Amino acid sequence: MQRKVIFGNRLLPYALLAPQLAITAVFFFWPAGQALFMSVLQQDPFGMRVTFVGLANFRAVLSDPDYLAALWRTLYFSLAVTVLAMVPALLLAVMADRVIRAATFYKTVLIVPYAIAPAVAGVLWLFMFHPAIGSLAWVLKRLGIAWNPVLDGTHAMILVILAAAWKQIAYNFLFFLAGLQSIPRSLLEAASIDGAGEARRFWTIVFPLLSPTTFFLLVVNVVYAFFDTFGVIHAVTGGGPAKATEILVYKVYFDGVHALNLGSSSAQSVILMAIVIALTMLQFRYLERRVHY
């Protein structure tokens, strides 16, 4: 799309664009290029010599059992976070769409977690489930469950999944509610007159009409689980115990910043970039479809 009436000026548009382009070039393209470049190089242990190794770093990363374990972990972590963040959000949005009394109150409270940093959400949940002082950990122990996320990898994973999903419900709720409110009332009333019950109306009318929103949220939630949950993991478990909660983005950080394995970390960065690009493309395919919709 373009405007018909425009200003004629030769230098001004470049001056207006300059700040954004400068920042983009220096802090986005240059480092991304560096990541690509370093991913095909190998540095000797003393950092004295750099040699070109082609795809060896990628081969090493993709055949590393630790990396593959982190990949699978990321996949089921993302699946769990996405499902736990979307299903309750849809249920709450359907209910909020139906009530009139106190609707604003419900909405206001339910969106608050959107404002909370992932790391802080992690701290809230760590405090409830802390093995020594957590109130809910105490309840679990009274129920005979030997709850200890500091030592037990599965418990740690459950904890970070719950914290990450809890924070994201607010976001999904808002989008589902906006989607529901754009469904014409007349459609639902017509179905109701034809004798369709609540459940039938939901599955034959509401859910299909909501599918663009659902698809969009699916992509956004997977991206969130892949990348934005770094804060939750770093603050709550530090990837532990024994790497039980180390997802891909945490591994890139750890290998690059703590283990200083630049070649491997860069190769991992490049793989992550490919994943982001694929997910973004998916999102835009959805956008195109919605235009025709």
Partner 1 sequence: MASVAPPIAHGAARMRLREDGFAHLILWAGIAITAFPLYLTLVASTLAPQEIAQAPMPVLPGDQAWHNYRTALLEGATMRLSPPVLTMMANSLVMALGITFGKIVVSILSAYAVVFFRFPLRMAFFWMIFVTLMLPVEVRIVPTYAVVSDLGMINTYAGLTIPLIASATATLLFRQFFLTIPDEYVEAAKMDGAGPMRFFWDVVLPLSRTNIAALFVILFIYGWNQYLWPLLMATDKNLDTIVIGIKKMIGTGDALTEWHLVMATTVLAMLPPALVVVAMQRWFVKGLVETEK
28, 72, 76, 207: which one binds partner 1 (CB under 8 A)? 28
Taking the least distance from each CB to partner 1, the nearer of 68 and 103 is 103
Is 215 a binding residue for partner 1 by CB under 8 A? The answer is no
CA-based torsion, 124, 90, 74, 29: positive or negative: negative
Residue 42 has phi, psi (to 5 degrees) of -130, 130
Least distance in angstroms from the C-beta of 130 to partner 1: 6
* Helix H or strand E segment including 274: helix 262-292
Taking the least distance from each CB to partner 1, the nearer of 31 and 54 is 31
Least distance in angstroms from the C-beta of 68 to partner 1: 19
40, 88, 214, 282: which one binds partner 1 (CB under 8 A)? 88
Least distance in angstroms from the C-beta of 255 to partner 1: 9
Look up residue 88 and give its amino acid: P
User: In 11-23, which positions are buried (b, 16+ CB within 10 angstroms) versus exposed (e)?
Assistant: eeeeeeeeeeeee
Applying CB under 8 A, which part among 54-62, 63-71, 131-139, 203-211 lies near partner 1? 131-139
* Helix H or strand E segment including 52: strand 50-52
- Distances in whole angstroms, Cα of residue 198 to Cα of each of 24, 94, 140, 206: 51, 11, 37, 10
- Tokens at 14, concatenated: 């470049």
Separation of alpha carbons 55 and 41, rounded Å: 9
Neighbours of 67 (CB within 10 A): 19
Is 180 a binding residue for partner 1 by CB under 8 A? The answer is no
- Judge whether 35 and 57 are in contact, CB under 8 Å: no
257, 258, 288, 292: which one binds partner 1 (CB under 8 A)? 257
Applying CB under 8 A, which part among 44-52, 54-62, 64-72, 273-281 lies near partner 1? 273-281
Applying CB under 8 A, which part among 47-55, 56-64, 73-81, 271-279 lies near partner 1? 271-279
Separation of alpha carbons 229 and 80, rounded Å: 13
- Footprint of partner 1 on residues 105-124 (CB under 8 A)? 106-121, 123-124
**Three-state DSSP class for 142?**
helix
Is 59 a binding residue for partner 1 by CB under 8 A? The answer is no
Instruction: State the number of binding residues for partner 1 (CB under 8 A).
Output: 100
Is 239 a binding residue for partner 1 by CB under 8 A? The answer is no
Binding mask 132-151 vs partner 1 (x if CB under 8 A, - otherwise)? xxxx-xxx----------x-
